[in-house]
Every structure is written in C-alpha cells, then in structure tokens.
Amino acid sequence: MTTESEPTTEIQKKNFRYVQIDGIGVSIANVAAPFLPVSLTRLGATNFQVGLLSSMPGVTGLILALVVGRFLQTRKNVVPWYSVARLMVISCYALTGILTLFLPDAIMIPSTLAIWAFATIPAVALSVAFSVVMNAVAGPTGRYALLSRRWAIFGLTGVIGTFLVTRVINLVDFPTNYSYMFLGLSLGGLLSYFFSRKINIPDQPAHPIQKKTSLTDNLRGYKKMLQDSPAFLSFISKRFVYFFAIFLAAPVMPLFLVRKVGASDAEIGTINMILTLVMLAGYFLWPRLSKKWGGRFVLLATLLGMALYPSLSALTPRVELIMVYAGIAGLFQAGLDLVLFDELMKTVPAEYSATFVSLSQSTQYLSAIIAPTVGTLLADSIGLGGALLVSAGLRVAGFLLFLVPDKKKAS
C-alpha cells in the first residue's frame, strides 16, 4: 500500500525521478568541492584567502537574497531559474580547470577567488529556488521521502566519484591533476540541467509583497511578516548559531588536515568519502527514527552529535582516527540535513515560500560572512585545533538553544 509520503500520480513519480537524476549530476560535480580549498592551500594561499572561499557566498547572499526572493515570489514557476542557476554554478568548476591549465601559479589564487566570487551570484538564486522546488515536488508530507532518497543517491554517486578521484589524482603532478579533475567532474552539471528542467510543478499565483515607496517601508514590511510568524523567527534565530559553528570550521578543517595532520590528497579524499558513505545509511535510518520518535528527537540528537567531529579531530589529530570521526559526522549530518529542511518548511507560509526562504537564507549568509573570517583569525591566534574546538562549543550551544521548544508552527 502506498503511504501518504509516496508519489502517487504519474507526474509526481516523474518529478521524483527527475529530482534523483538531477542529484546524480550535482553530486558528480560536487566531488570536486572539498578539493577546491585544498588546491588553494597547496598553491600557497594564506588562511585568510582560504577563508574568503567560504565567506564570499555569504557576502553576495546577504546583499541579494531578499532581492532574489522578491523576484522569485513574482514568478509563476521557479524550475527554469533553478536549472539555469545550478548549471552556472557548476560551470565554474570547468572554468577553474581551464584557467589552471593556462595561467601561471602566481595568479591562480586571485583568479580562482574571482571565479568563485562570480559563482556566488547564481548560487543565491539556486539556494532559494532549491527549497521552493523541492517543497513543491514533495508536498507537506513527502519531504523526508524525497530528500532522503535524493541525498542517498547523491551520496552514493559522491562516494563512487571520490573513490575514483582519490585513486588517480596522484598519477599526475599538481596542479595539472586538479585541472583535469575540475574539468571532468563539471560535466555533471549538464546532466543536472537536462533533467532538472523537466521537473513539472503547477504554476502558482504570484504573491509578491506589496510594493513600498522606500527602503524603510520595505524593511517594515519584512519586520511585520516576521512578527506575524514567530515560529519561523524562533527557528532561524536558533539555526543561526549552528550555521555559524559550521561555517567557522569550513576553512579551518582543510587547513588542519594539510598543515596539522599532514594528510595527502588521497587521504583527504578518503575522509570525505567515508563521511559521505556513512551518510547513505543515515538517510535510511533517520526517517524511520523520525516516524517513531518525532522530528524534535532527530533535531536534538543530530545537533549534539555533530559536535563530535571537530572536537575529537582537534584532540587526536591522526588521519586514521579522523576517518572514524568523519564516519560519525556523516551519520549525524544525514539526519540534520533532513530535519532542518523539514522543520524550516513547517514554519513557512505556503503562499510566501520564496520570500520566507530568502529571509531564512539571509541569516545563513550572515553567518557565512562572519564565521569563516572568525575561524581563520582564531586559527592564527589559538591554532587550528583551537578553532575547531570553538566550532564544537558553538554546536553544543545550538543544541542547548533548540532544547527550548519552538512556538506554534505556521503549517
């Protein structure tokens, strides 16, 4: 018997399939993501420059998220915008690979940073459109089913891709090996584009926010929307602390693996592969636990569990142990990915989903601006391991905040 969370009509089944194939294409390209900061590090980038790679999306996002949200709110269908934005972001891997072949090492660091500064523009539209499209495809009862399958397939493809990359990346000298890797993996963007544009969701009546005569009036409009949605405001405020901890560690961990642990490219790839592989099991485990114990249990358990990876890595900086810790992180990360999206969309009014998602993304971008810079400054002052311990402490703080129940949900 089909459950309420399963696709029932032929259109829903096709949409579920297109979402999964889109995920395969994205995951192929994303195999290259962990190697981007490693590439900069091996080229001689400073801690600050590696931190820019993590903080730049936040700057652009904070500036543009609300603008993009207002724009998408007036679109009857956001699928085309989702597809094109995804293709543009992934194409930046190809551009990075091409320039690596032809530019001298001396200017590769600023060139790479410039490419990924540009990528932040379509990435803003992508971050908003993704949540809107996935929610429309899944419906209010199918979010766990859709995303657990997408991210399981996403993870499996990523594991296979990472396994292959780690086996061949050292056969060619740096940086040529990275160039070939970025070029080859960027082909996943074409697969993603071809199938994501086939997603068929109904056109929605536009619900733009009433136009105001000044910036002050616009801000007042957003303030009133937030005041009328206390559950949403409470959730994103608490989530901000968790994301701050995650972004703080983003530039620190690759630096820690290269400079403190002395991990090779193959070992770094293996760490990411183990994390992703264990996530696959988590995507099947946590939906079952959610049905039995509820989303709040999953939220609290995963928030607390995610503090283990940075703290244990900092205290015992040995590559074989970090591989184990990465597996633990993968298990909890799977549940957190699912529950954060589900809990967020419960607080979002359906008729203003693009606007509220853009407001949510703005708080995430704010943490993405500040936290990586804080992380690299901490790394310079108290060491890479000390910065990871601060990240772990903030994750525990996020867990403690979520112990206070959210207010009544909007949907």
User: Is pLDDT of 175 > 90?
Assistant: no
**Stated pTM of the model:** 0.71
The stretch 151-166 carries a mean pLDDT of 82
Percent of the chain past pLDDT 90, that is, above it, reads 26
In this structure, of 230-244, 278-292, 339-353, the range with the lowest mean pLDDT score is 339-353
Q: What is the pLDDT of residues 303-333, one digit of tens each?
A: 999 999 999 999 998 999 999 999 999 999 8
Residue-level pLDDT at 315? 92
User: Is pLDDT of 236 > 60?
Assistant: yes
Residue-level pLDDT at 411? 41
The stretch 127-156 carries a mean pLDDT of 81
User: Is pLDDT of 235 > 60?
Assistant: yes
The stretch 270-293 carries a mean pLDDT of 84
Q: What is the pLDDT of residues 282-295, one digit of tens each?
A: 888 888 888 888 88
Largest CA distance in the chain: 62
Residue-level pLDDT at 211? 54
- Single-letter residue type at 255: L
Measured distance CA(248)–CA(244) in Å, rounded = 6
How confident is residue 75, by pLDDT bands cut at 50, 70 and 90? confident
Give the ranges where 74-199 is alpha helix by DSSP (H).
79-102, 105-138, 143-168, 176-185, 188-196
Which residue in 82, 84, 190, 90 sits closest to 126, CA to CA?
82
User: Is pLDDT of 242 > 70?
Assistant: yes
Measured distance CA(393)–CA(411) in Å, rounded = 32
Residue where the block lists tokens 């992703």: 276
